[in-house]
Amino acid sequence: MANRRVEMMEETRAKLVAAARKAFAEKGYAAASMDELTADVGLTRGALYHNFGDKRGLMAAVVNQIDAEMASRAQEIGARAEDDWEGLLAEGTAYIEMALDPEVQRVVLLDGPAVLGDPSQWPSQNSCLQATKQTVERLIVLGILKPVDAEAAARLLNGAALNAALWIAASEDPKDVFPKAVEAFRYLATGLLAKLA
């Protein structure tokens, strides 16, 4: 009985997150109606408040889901690279490129910071930071990167990728800004190399 209740709660949460994700991407956070959203999935506003507290709590769940997908996709791309250094660059580049996706732009990079505050403080960003820090630590041990503080380097690399993505999302011409942002990101990261190639 308790298992079924937990399953039903998870189903309700999943329905609400899916509906909110669609509404926030199509209409934006401010214009998304919670009454329409809950009615679309056959639930009440009470279900929303019970599961997420309020619209902002639902936004946090949606941003967390998309941000986790972005991190996973970036890590998959990085894992295909020939070595950890190229993987680190590929991950950062992939994250920046995701700013060209309309859903990512609107929900994570434009509305997300406006509603939830500084993205570097989001729980999903912390897991990205830890993954980057581990890669930086490996590269320092291997002598590929200068012996800098690994956390500082990871924070700056992640911050550069995040700010590049924010710049792209907010720009008049994201496709024009993208190659400039990637080029600058790669030059910044290359400054950490122990020996410049």
Tokens of 107: 């929900």
- Is pLDDT of 123 > 90? no
- Residue 145 pairs in a beta bridge with 193
Tokens of 41: 């999935």
**CA–CA gap between residue 80 and residue 60 (Å, rounded):** 30
Nearest to 112 by CA among 29, 14, 13: 29
- Is pLDDT of 143 > 90? yes
- Is pLDDT of 175 > 60? yes
What mean pLDDT is reported for the chain?
92
pLDDT at 197: 52
Instruction: Please give the average per-residue pLDDT across 97-113, as a whole number.
Output: 96
Half-sphere exposure of 25 (CA within 13 A, CB side): 13
Q: What is the pLDDT of residues 5-15, one digit of tens each?
A: 778 888 889 99
Beta carbons within 10 angstroms of residue 160's beta carbon: 18
pLDDT at 191: 94
**Candidate from 101-110, 125-134, 180-189 with smallest mean pLDDT:** 125-134
Q: Which helix (H) or strand (E) holds 121?
A: none
Q: Residues 179, 168: contact at Cβ < 8 Å?
A: no
**Candidate from 85-89, 117-121, 145-149, 163-167 with smallest mean pLDDT:** 117-121
Domains, the chain, ordered by start:
1-53 (1.10.10.60), 59-191 (1.10.357.10)
pTM (2 d.p.):
0.89
pLDDT at 109: 95
Nearest to 174 by CA among 97, 71, 90: 97
pLDDT at 126: 80
Instruction: Please give the average per-residue pLDDT across 150-175, as a whole number.
Output: 95
> What 3-state DSSP class applies to 193?
strand
Q: Residues 178, 97: contact at Cβ < 8 Å?
A: yes
